[in-house]
Chains A and B, each alone.
Chain A
């Protein structure tokens, strides 16, 4: 016989189907919303056991309908972890490539009128100082102008590398600010989610926003994301998100850095250096660009005692785009004193290489115009340094190389013969100048006895481009692998949490049928009730 309890069973079925249809509608309407996670209604069988005299004593009980436990998001934490792991690699290699492309735009002069062409031009000008032309001001000027152009190209290359370094430093600062802004936003979201948890709100939109931010953060820095729980002051258990940065240092006491712990968060900073104060107090701080993670702070910015982090000192492994950017800003390659970091070649490596090239070239040219092949000082007219620094500093670099004032003024000129008083057509010293362009020079690194390159001057410049090409190719291949892997994992992830119209369409039909069936059940119960009330015993 139908009782009023049976109406409740059907009614709960209608409500659940209606709610499931609403969720389907919400899923479909958000198919294009970025970061939206597909939702589903969590239901369970509703059973209640009454007590006392109204308690059912019969062995059969149909139950009390369906209970809506809540709405959950369809996510797979395993895929999230894998995706973020690959995105760290994508961020790291992408930043590496951006750095190499920037350097390539400056030093790559293949097919252009750059440094290589100017070396050829200068050699060509020496070739024209043949027996009939030595000693003439016209041809000396041709060499001088070509040498001046060469200096200007070196100055320009150095200046462009320096501007690129400065621009990159600015970008590095901006990226660190972006990371800190993401951390702050996640902190705020964690706080709001915690409050929602306490009031029983599932706060799914906030979780979607948080997931998007965590994905973004993973490109900048290698992170581990853990979901734990915490007990509030009122005794309610709520979810707590903890984000750590793996610490790759060795040792028993080594702990991971905590970036976010619920609504508390740390900030990332880098060492941008400082000038010394008056009288050297405080002392100057070197620009190392080293990353460090600050003390954990609460949402109001108050530091939490005992939750200090520290500098990221171990440069092994990939730490995302921030670490790669640091590599571009500091990488000295073989010029580094530290053999562990000599693998990274950034802007400073190319600046240093260019300086070495400028200095070697200038020293060789000056030596030929001031000394005989045995190293004795020349006493002929016009002997003297052809190249000097334009800022008066002691060491010639690519940024300060210039033709000397004495050569510019005519006090010094190209010495065509090392023999005093030889005829105006003697050109024995010219071939020594020409030899500079064809002989092998050895370029060393910082480590004792290490050699980077041995060969012609222009060959060293070509070697710089070759080294860049090799590094670029390596980063490019790594980027391709990381990107395709991340893309594939994202597709798998999308299949779990993305809205699929086919699935939603099937769900819609299923819930519609379930709703109609519950309505039909209600009608059936109604007719049973009608039978009992109006027609029984008539």
Chain B
């Protein structure tokens, strides 16, 4: 029996990610148009707004066309085709976004040339020497004890209820939330979820640590004010990371509970849908909060020069900058300096994590 529920979930998810992609260019430094520096007095120009507006329209038109094609195909095809359609529609958002941004970038560069705008690079640098106790913006590592306690609780419950766990476990669900693969009850299979929880927690703690260590982008013209903005910006990000980590770990705990103690399976459907929605909505909420407080105006003079932003402004490569993490050129968040050898190690690790998880589940799973 096919229920409509997962498809509503996908539709909501699709709408939300499209929304996120289409509005992201309105966040971040206002004197940047698709990564191209524009004069402060031109920020609110009609032509500047139009470049952003065109991008938003482009993203939505593409999204509607793809959704329409998918809908028509899915109505005629079988279950498998529907699943393929959903995945393709989701994946297509990436090239659309990249194309849209490059298009916006070209328009921005052309506009800058036409108007003869000249934005001199900042030649001043400011740094703070912390006196006394350093001001740490991030949540301390102890806050993640909450997550660890939840994981521990999951493990303890599994040990206590060991005898009640059925001998055959559900190892995999299909798109409709119907079990399609089973495994026998082994220590590896029962605690696999907890291992993944721990790995995930480790990643979140690491991100929290790294953001805390990232350079404070200080504006030479208003050092103290920009420092305060930086610290608040980092703190909001830290709280967001803490929250998302909590949601993910609780979610995995629930999956484990369904698998082991036969918790109502229909719950999985609703949770599976809810998680991405919670993540996207809280991300949007955070972005709006940061913008309203003016905290998205993070100007980093050291990485300001357009020369260092390669491949359509997406890759930062500056051998003269010792920093590994720098604020992104457009949008919010941080990116890495590819001129540092450490960046390649990091990229390798990130690419390696899914491989590690796959290997771990192969080793312990069966």
Do A and B share a complex? Answer: no
